[in-house]
Amino acid sequence: MPARGRDGRQGRGIAGSGVNSRVPKNTEGTEGTEGTDLAPATLDHVRAAIDTVRGTVCSEWRRRPDGRIDLAVTIPYNTDAEIWAPTQDRPVTAPRGVTFVRNDTSGGAAHKVYRAGAGSYSFNAR
């Protein structure tokens, strides 16, 4: 069975468009670790791929030096996908061949949601 995020969406999470899980920023009150910051460092690049019966699904994003995110996805033959592109409160450059579906949020972050068929696509916040 495919993995699903807490929000029930398939394929989301760290390589989709952002980190959905949270690590406490402060552990005050925990014996011997008062003031310890367990928050993960900011990620600048993530790539993940999974082999399916129809081919490989791949998602990769990179953080630019100015903080904007570039998202690249590959969808295998005979497959449709919903792609969540982070907006960072900026317009998103979407490639030809995708259809805008809606604006939505995940983990408090704004996203533009697109529908696409088989192919490779690149998105970025301008």
Q: What is the DSSP annotation of 35-73?
A: T---PPPPP-EEEEEEEETTEEEEEEEEE-TTS-EEEEE
Percent of the chain exceeding pLDDT 90 equals 49
Spatial distance between the Cα atoms of 71 and 16, rounded to a whole number of angstroms: 9
- What pLDDT was estimated at residue 56? 94
- What pLDDT was estimated at residue 21? 35
The answer for residues whose C-beta is within 8 angstroms of residue 51's C-beta and 6 or more apart is: none
Strand partners, 89: none
SS3 state at 31: coil
Residue numbers in the chain where pLDDT is lower than 50: 1-12, 17-27
CB atoms within 10 A of CB 11: 19
Exposure string (b/e) for 93-124, b if CB count within 10 Å is 16 or more? ebbeebeeeeeeebeebbbbbbebeebebebb
- What pLDDT was estimated at residue 22? 40
